[in-house]
Amino acid sequence: MQDRTTRIIMLVVAVLLAILVLQPYVNTYLTSAREPRPVAARGDLAEFERTTIQVFETVAPSVVQVVSLSGRGRTTEAEQAGSGTGFVWDAAGHVVTNEHVVENGASFVVRLASGEVLPAEVVGRAPNYDLAVLRLQRQSGLPAPLNVGSSADLKVGQAAFAIGNPFGLDQSLTSGIISALKRRLPTSGGREIADVIQTDAAINPGNSGGPLLDSAGRLIGVNTAIYSPSGTSAGIGFAIPVDVVNRVVPELIRTGRVPTPGIGILAGDETLTAQLGVTGVIVAGIVPDSPAERAGLRGVDTRAGIIGDVIVGVDDAPVRRLSDLTDRLERVGVGNTVKLAIRRNNRSETVEVTVVDVGEQGTRTRRP
């Protein structure tokens, strides 16, 4: 009797162990989806998703890839010197991009969103603004130009979208917000662009020259640089404000260049100016036969150890650094007259100076 009970118990235990061991396999067999699963209803897209999709679908066809070639000839025969992004500006086939995208190229091609590749030529460059304009060799059948917005009424925190070709990956969309306004960005021309837009929308190499857009799909800036030790997006990207673009690009189309407003001075080094505890722009030198010379401005006198005139204001606007002066001269424009507030030998004086195109005279761009 006892042996029988023991056998029953052992049998029950064996059955339980078998169930435990086989249970996962049984469950897998019973619950495996051996046929395509039914598609769940998605429902409506969120409003911000619809906005993002609409921005991309509207604007993307007008965004292009700009490729610089180091040799002339067909694309297959020339070595690629660099690439970036651009966008269609008008129905005449003009494309806007960054100057640094085209600076090392001997010839250029533009790849449309459709994949078609068209030869292009540079019709104007503005290193002081990091802007350039190309013209496609064919004007018919091109995508529509982008709608132009304004950068004067932008607000920190509003949505921003960037479309470009990061790392050669075309038609990429990133989104974020406007992180800051009125930044200043040095350019290869030795000046600074004022009122630059800062955004956290991811901007990587290859995005240069692409559009920064608002939620209405309007152009509000041209993406030009990132701040990152590694060279990849770190949430700090910069864009040239569209109000500057809308002023510079037509000039490039008309004449191929943009005037460099100045008065004919060589500005002192800003680091040295700060070390001397001086607020303003030290006049280090005077260009011969310039408006500055005719107005009687004085440069540094190394023999006497005198730092020369210090420009502290333009037309009642304060000047604390060189970019304040160049920005004001650009707003006034070539051919007009400004009143400079200067400090000379610890005295305040005011002089009138005519603004001229110092770039046309071949002077250095740091000579306002």
**Distance from CA of residue 25 to its chain's centroid?**
58
Q: Residue 119 corresponds to which amino acid?
A: P
Structure-token match 């010839």, residue found: 107
For the chain, the straight-line distance linking the first and the last C-alpha, in angstroms and rounded, comes to 114
3-class DSSP assignment, residue 88: strand
Active-site pick, 68, 100, 195, 290: 100
Annotated active-site residue 94? The verdict is no
Backbone angles phi, psi at 49, to 5 degrees: -70, -45
> Which helix (H) or strand (E) segment is 19 a member of?
helix 2-31
Annotated active-site residue 130? The verdict is yes
Active-site pick, 83, 172, 175, 208: 208
Annotated active-site residue 289? The verdict is no
Tokens of 102: 């085209």
Nearest CA to 280 among 328, 244, 331, 240?
328
Question: CA 109, 68, 87 angle in degrees (round to 5)?
Answer: 60
Nearest CA to 127 among 95, 149, 150, 104?
104
Active-site pick, 62, 68, 107, 130: 130
Can you tell me the distance from the alpha carbon of 231 to that of 223, in angstroms, rounded to the nearest whole number?
15
Active site amino acids: 100, 130, 208
